[in-house]
Amino acid sequence: MTEPSTVVAQPLHDRVAIVTGGSRGIGRAISFHLASLGAKIVINYSSNSAEADLVATQINTNTTNDSPRAITFQADVSDPDQVKSLFDAAESAFNSQPHILVNSAGVLDPKYPTLFNTEIDDFDKIFRVNARGAFVCCREAANRLRHGGGGRIVCLTSSMAAALRPGFAAYAASKAAVEAMVKVLAKELKGTGITANCVAPGPIATEMFFAGKTEEAVRKVVEECPLSRLGEPGDVAPVVGFLASDASEWVNGQVVRVNGGYV
């Protein structure tokens, strides 16, 4: 057993973190939080460069270092070649291989159709981004981090994978697939010093959550929450920060449900 260590003000000092979907919603909050812990951030985005640039600018404005501590990089997380380029860009920008991968990129069909009304194209899109995207990024991270003395992989899933509500068959299945995959990955990475975990948020007040919902639908969700409110992205980011730090080295292959008791 190791002796208790002194609390470090910046537990992620100079570690390089890739945050997919890091410019919006929960991913945006994670980017800011990891930066506040001292990490250098690669903000991955799929289409809106202005949002990503704003996050990077705000992080870099708040640093006392002359060198940028955040960069942006556009990549489709489901494309292995683009993901390889994402990791290469991180290494080139910060002269270090990444230490942390946070898979936050995800999509949800705002129509909330039943399984028997879900179009194949919509199903494929959800699985391409949520499940295939996580697989591609985890594979790239595992292959790089296992030669570098360890690291952290954190995948954002959803408490809907446990709540299993009507209208979310494809989405819940895609997130459940990621949870199973990460649990297996944690075992496959035995002896590498890499941990792999999932964070499964409940209903969080983001653009993706509100899309397609009426005020009445939102009110009903709030009524089902024991804390009588929606979660905020800032409720999730510190949990990811913990799993990305050395303090979580004995947490591996787990799904941490950050949902205020919703599930």
pLDDT, one tens digit per residue, over 51-108 is 999 999 999 997 766 678 999 999 999 999 999 999 999 999 999 999 999 999 999 9
Q: Rounded distance, CA 43 to CA 101, Å?
A: 11
Tokens found for residue 98: 């990444």
Buried b or exposed e, range 116-141, using 16+ CB within 10 angstroms: eebeeebbebbbbbbbbbbbbbbebb
For each of the domains in the chain, give its residue range(s) and CATH number, in order of start. Answer: 16-257 (3.40.50.720)
Neighbouring residues of 164: CB distance < 8 A, sequence distance ≥ 6: 172
Q: Output the CA–CA distances (angstroms, integers) from residue 178 to 64, 106, 190, 255, in the order listed.
A: 38, 11, 19, 10
User: Which has the closest alpha carbon to 220: 169, 262, 258, 178?
Assistant: 262
Q: Output the CA–CA distances (angstroms, integers) from residue 219 to 160, 215, 216, 225, 248, in the order listed.
A: 17, 6, 5, 10, 35
Is 262 a catalytic site residue? no
pLDDT, one tens digit per residue, over 112-132 is 889 999 999 999 999 999 999
Output the pLDDT for position 7.
52
Does the pLDDT of residue 137 top 70, yes or no? Answer: yes
Output the pLDDT for position 64.
67
Question: First and final CA of the chain: distance in angstroms?
Answer: 35
Confidence of residue 215 (pLDDT cuts 50, 70, 90): very high
Does the pLDDT of residue 4 top 90, yes or no? Answer: no
pLDDT, one tens digit per residue, over 43-52 is 999 999 999 9
Choosing from 45, 112, 171, 262, the catalytic residue is 171
Neighbouring residues of 241: CB distance < 8 A, sequence distance ≥ 6: 12, 30, 33, 34, 37
Residue pair 241/15 in contact by the 8 Å Cβ criterion:
no
Confidence of residue 2 (pLDDT cuts 50, 70, 90): very low
pLDDT, average across residues 153-164: 96
pLDDT, average across residues 145-171: 92
- Bridge-based pairing of strands 100-103 and 16-20 is parallel
Residue pair 140/10 in contact by the 8 Å Cβ criterion:
no
Handedness of CA 150, 248, 190, 157 (dihedral sign): negative
Q: pTM of the prediction?
A: 0.94
CA-angle at 28, arms to 23 and 29, nearest 5°: 175
